[in-house]
Amino acid sequence: MRSKALALAMLLPLAACGKQVSAPPTTGVTDELIAKGPSDEWLTYGGDRAEQRFSPLDKVTDKNVGELGMAWFADLDTARGQEATPLMHDGTLYITTAWSMVKAYDARTGAVKWQYDPKVPREKLVDVCCDAVNRGVALYGDKVYVATLDGRLVALGQKTGKVIWDKLTIPKDSHMAITGAPRVVKGMVLIGSAGAEYFTRGYLAAFDAESGAERWRFYTVPGDPSKPQEGKHLEAAAKTWSGEFWKLGGGGTVWDSITYDPATDLIYFGTANAEPWNPAYRNTDGAGDSLYTASIVAVKPDSGEYVWHFQETPEDRWDFDSNQQITVADLDIGGQKRHVILHAPKNGFFYVLDARSGEFISGKPFVDGINWARGLDPKTGKPDINPDAKYELTGKPWLGIPGAVGAHSWTPMSYSPRTGLVYIPVNNTAQAYSHDPDWKPGTTGFQLGIDASPGNVPADEAVRAATKAAMTGALVAFDPVAGEVKWKVPLQTPTNGGTLATAGNLVFQGTALGDFRAYAADTGKQLWSFPAYSGILAAPITYSIDGEQYVAVLVGWGGVWDVSGGKGVTSRITPNISRLVVFKLGAKGALPAPPPSVERVLDPPPVSGTPEQIAMGSKLFTNSCSVCHGNAAVAGSLNPDLRHSAVLGSAEAWRNIVFDGALAHNGMVAWKTQFNADQIDAIRLYVIKRANEDKALEGK
Ligand code: CA
């Protein structure tokens, strides 16, 4: 234990701004240890500083992976989505589960060492698009850091799980939430927030690792132009916005990628969409680029000072977040050694940028069918935007590819320096966008300015089957130098798991349908699979103890925008049974067989209400409710399918829940500040109609 006196002695005054600055840790998990990258341990979210998710461990190989079996598993205490990358240090495996809970296990046996519950208020669920997920902890010195859904950063003792400090990092009472994993560097903990769909102003912030004191905060979008901006970069950015954009926040949140690069001494991070999505409601004098949204930004770690940015999707109106994992690599490009950033954002183009300057090197599609842009300028990387995709100008619905789910979202990719390939979990999805001429800023839930209801899948079996067939996924091995797909494994559904590459010529990935698989990294040949029964989204890791190589992954689907239910995919074979599962060679364990799935028969009250009421309900449901309860009211396995709701027949009971918030303790908050009583009932009438349509189909 470090003495209090020593801890105080480590607090050095920072002359520049008078803030207390602690020295980085010299024992335990240090910057030097993290910089070495994964060997026996896995110390940081992306595996190493370069976030390559490549392990040099090679005891498990393409020759013997067939002998891989389950060593142990641990049931988790929540069935919601699991997104965390486990970290392993000193024989202990650290994970987070849904609701930002932290658990520490003996990495060899699975014995629980300690657990911590930050007691996140369940009402916070309304401020996130995609479940109460968390992507993992950071380890630094003798501490564990977790960022919670309700916006706190908490430091815990690595050995004990006891709270050392607990600090609110988001503005009080804001709609921001945190789902991402913190990163640590130079005595600081870095974290941003989610929420670019909810009137928020994005930022990345740095906190003193010892005390929790805020060191700097870098805003990604300008504030009120009549007041001084927090830096010259924001004065420049303000020129790319118009109207009273700041009143709606601007978006650009930093909800996932944060990469520190020791070679350049820069922090790179990705930013989300501008808020609201529809530029007609934020750049009222015409669409501008809305800097620094949908961008990669580089800042200095010591001050948070702006260095460079590259905007991947100027004037975004399709929710093309650039928050996806930022991987650093050294590549031979055109006969030159280049230190580069590799990035596969939602917009479907794979970017290679110079890490020092942000200079565009290349940008090539990693999915088929991209229609929002006709290509990228080979010199600048600027997209040639399809005029038909500007739905706010055409006034017509636009079926965009990729959709808002993204060609690739947060599910981590990996890069193998051995094969030179990037392994990307890819989504093939489309999305209908249309201008909503009647939109007004609201108070609760998504604030997008679009009407997505023209994209509702009708109650028609043929259309549903066609939609289902068009919504797929793939594991894509992309060659960043050649700018082309080297091999591809088609997957039945979108939103599959993150990937891990190893020196054993292997790539590991879980699927949304509950398989955990190993492929040959060079050819894509499937070599092994394990039935995990519930869908997998999280990325696996590998570690070694006493010469034994282990592979660990979290099982439990959720935490991505659930496009499955409403599109008729209904891909979940069972409701989630969320688990941590660990493998090693020669182990023979098997998971308990899942309970049989239960057929649920629809039994709704008869259709009532006028066509006008039902049409109003359709629009309101689609734009505010479908994000949790599914397209066309067909939910996935995670949130209640309202077609089966027991209160459909009672306007009063429905109002108690939806208007007054009777189920707020479950995360279903009151919507009375967003909707009036007539609107709440119109949503009920629409769901009744949808249930009756689907009941008629069941009878066929
Ligand atoms: Ca977004």
* Alpha carbon of 203 to ligand 1 centroid (Å): 14
SS (H, E, C) 225-280: CCCCCCCHHHHHHHCCCCCCHHHHCCECCCCCCEEEECCCCEEEEECCCECCCCHH
Which residue shows structure tokens 């309970």? 595
* Alpha carbon of 238 to ligand 1 centroid (Å): 21
Confidence of residue 62 (pLDDT cuts 50, 70, 90): very high
Which residue shows structure tokens 């017509």? 396
pLDDT (average), residues 468-477: 88
In Å, what is the CA distance from 390 to each residue of 163, 211, 242, 552?
A: 49, 47, 17, 44
| Pair 550, 544: CB distance under 8 Å | yes
The beta strand positions in 457-564, using DSSP E, are 472-479, 484-491, 499-502, 506-510, 515-520, 526-531, 541-545, 548-555
Comparing CA positions, the residue from 189, 192, 154, 165 lying closest to residue 31 is 189
Neighbour count for residue 230 (Cβ, 10 Å): 16
Question: What percent helix, strand, coil does the chain show, rounded to 5?
Answer: 15, 30, 55
In the predicted structure, residue 8 carries a pLDDT above the cut 60: no
Higher-pLDDT residue of 275 and 596 is 275
Contacts of 15 (CB under 8 A, 6+ apart): none
Q: pLDDT tens, 157-192? A: 999 999 999 999 999 989 999 999 999 999 999 999
* Alpha carbon of 215 to ligand 1 centroid (Å): 27
SS (H, E, C) 75-93: ECCCCCCCCCCCEEECCEE
Higher-pLDDT residue of 204 and 457 is 204
pLDDT at 699: 65
Which residue shows structure tokens 């966008």? 433
pLDDT (average), residues 453-458: 74
**Measured between alpha carbons, how far is 117 from 572 in angstroms, rounded to an integer?**
28
DSSP 450: B
In the predicted structure, residue 13 carries a pLDDT above the cut 50: no
* Alpha carbon of 671 to ligand 1 centroid (Å): 22
pLDDT at 700: 62
pLDDT at 128: 87
In the predicted structure, residue 3 carries a pLDDT above the cut 90: no
pLDDT (average), residues 39-52: 97
* Alpha carbon of 152 to ligand 1 centroid (Å): 21
| Pair 589, 70: CB distance under 8 Å | yes
* Alpha carbon of 408 to ligand 1 centroid (Å): 12
Quote the tokens at residue 151. Answer: 């916006």
* Alpha carbon of 526 to ligand 1 centroid (Å): 33
Q: Which secondary-structure segment (H or E) carries 677?
A: helix 677-698
* Alpha carbon of 610 to ligand 1 centroid (Å): 35
**Measured between alpha carbons, how far is 384 from 373 in angstroms, rounded to an integer?**
5
Q: Which secondary-structure segment (H or E) carries 384?
A: strand 383-385
**Measured between alpha carbons, how far is 43 from 36 in angstroms, rounded to an integer?**
10
Mean pLDDT of the chain: 91
**Measured between alpha carbons, how far is 555 from 575 in angstroms, rounded to an integer?**
12
Fold of the 4-430+471-585 domain? Methanol Dehydrogenase; Chain A (2.140.10)
pLDDT at 471: 85
Domains of the chain, residue spans: 4-430+471-585, 611-698
pLDDT at 285: 81
Neighbour count for residue 11 (Cβ, 10 Å): 15
pLDDT (average), residues 256-277: 97
Q: pLDDT tens, 668-680? A: 989 998 899 999 9
| Pair 552, 582: CB distance under 8 Å | yes
**Measured between alpha carbons, how far is 636 from 575 in angstroms, rounded to an integer?**
9
Q: pLDDT tens, 543-592? A: 999 999 999 999 998 766 655 544 444 444 456 889 999 999 999 999 99
Comparing CA positions, the residue from 510, 496, 352 lying closest to residue 420 is 352
Which residue shows structure tokens 């007691």? 119
Buried b (16+ CB within 10 A) or exposed e, 677-686: eebbbbbbbb
In the predicted structure, residue 12 carries a pLDDT above the cut 70: no
| Pair 390, 317: CB distance under 8 Å | yes
Helices (H), 549-639: 611-620, 626-629
Which amino acid does the sequence have at 462? A
Higher-pLDDT residue of 10 and 670 is 670
* Alpha carbon of 198 to ligand 1 centroid (Å): 10
* Alpha carbon of 86 to ligand 1 centroid (Å): 25
Q: pLDDT tens, 120-129? A: 999 998 888 8
**Measured between alpha carbons, how far is 375 from 363 in angstroms, rounded to an integer?**
9
| Bridge partners, residue 203, by sequence | 219
Which amino acid does the sequence have at 599? E
In Å, what is the CA distance from 579 to each residue of 122, 463, 520, 539, 556?
A: 21, 36, 26, 13, 7
Confidence of residue 425 (pLDDT cuts 50, 70, 90): very high
* Alpha carbon of 248 to ligand 1 centroid (Å): 15
In the predicted structure, residue 11 carries a pLDDT above the cut 50: no
Active-site pick, 208, 319, 451, 681 = 319
Give 605's Cβ-side CA count (13 Å radius). Answer: 15
* Alpha carbon of 216 to ligand 1 centroid (Å): 24
Q: pLDDT tens, 608-651? A: 999 999 999 999 998 889 888 888 888 877 788 899 999 999 99
Which residue shows structure tokens 């060593």? 71
Which residue shows structure tokens 């899942």? 594
**Measured between alpha carbons, how far is 230 from 238 in angstroms, rounded to an integer?**
11
pLDDT at 19: 62
Q: Is 319 a catalytic residue?
A: yes
**CA 40 to centroid of chain Cα atoms:** 27
| Pair 392, 434: CB distance under 8 Å | no
Cα angle at 523 between 522 and 527, to 5 degrees? Answer: 100
**CATH number, domain 611-698:** 1.10.760.10
Q: Beta strand 515-520 with 526-531: parallel, antiparallel or unpaired?
A: antiparallel
| Pair 622, 451: CB distance under 8 Å | yes
Q: What φ, ψ does residue 503 adopt, rounded to 5°?
A: -70, -10
Which amino acid does the sequence have at 58? D
In the predicted structure, residue 356 carries a pLDDT above the cut 60: yes
In the predicted structure, residue 465 carries a pLDDT above the cut 90: no
Quote the tokens at residue 225. Answer: 């132009």
Please report the DSSP string for 320-367 in residue order: ----S--EEEEEEETTEEEEEEEE--TTSEEEEEETTT--EEEEEESS
**Measured between alpha carbons, how far is 144 from 135 in angstroms, rounded to an integer?**
14
pLDDT (average), residues 438-443: 90
Percent above pLDDT 70 for the chain: 93
Comparing CA positions, the residue from 172, 173, 155 lying closest to residue 164 is 155
In the predicted structure, residue 5 carries a pLDDT above the cut 50: no
Q: Beta strand 360-365 with 373-376: parallel, antiparallel or unpaired?
A: unpaired
Q: pLDDT tens, 394-411? A: 999 999 999 999 999 999
